Amino acid sequence: MAKEELERRATAEKQAHEQALERVRPELSAAQAVAHETEQRLQALIAKQERTPRIQQWPAEVTADSPAAEMPPLPRRRGRPPKVRQPEPEASDPESDIVEWWKPGWRDRYR
């Protein structure tokens, strides 16, 4: 009895797998057709690129004889960029009488 149940279960699983394959086969053939068409377009583009003449004119500063071609690239600078200092207001400026105590460095102006 267990053997018969096992055979039925195996048959049912086999049928389920076959049905799943039948559902997926059209999608697979469509995907293969798209891949084949894409491959043909790629081959056509490669052939077109090979047919076109290539004329490369390099600027004089980039030729192999120039010292710029021998120099390795500069390493990237690390860290935070330096702060840009604002010019201090002149003494004749009417706003210079105001002490902006909440800004950093206000004491340095009045020493």
Centroid of chain to Cα 74: 23
Contacts of 63 (CB under 8 A, 6+ apart): 69
Which residue in the block uniquely carries the two structure tokens 């002490």? 99
Average the pLDDT over 85-95 and give the result: 64
Q: What pLDDT sits at residue 48? A: 87
Q: Looking at residue 77, what is its pLDDT?
A: 83
Task: Work out the percent of the chain whose per-residue pLDDT is above 90.
Answer: 35
User: HSE (CB half, 13 Å, CA atoms) of 105?
Assistant: 5
**Cα dihedral: 96, 102, 105, 109 (round 10):** 20
Does the predicted model carry a pTM greater than 0.75? no
Q: Cα–Cα distances in Å, from 67 out to 8, 57, 61, 73?
A: 81, 18, 8, 12
Q: Is the pLDDT of residue 97 over 70?
A: no
Give tens-digit pLDDT for 49-72: 888 776 666 555 555 555 555 677
What 9-18 contacts at long range (C-beta under 8 Å, 24+ apart), as own/partner pairs, is none
Q: Indicate the average pLDDT of the chain.
A: 80
Per-residue pLDDT tens digits for 18-52: 999 999 999 999 999 999 999 999 999 988 888 87
pLDDT of residue 1: 83
Give dist(CA 105, CA 108) in Å, integer.
5
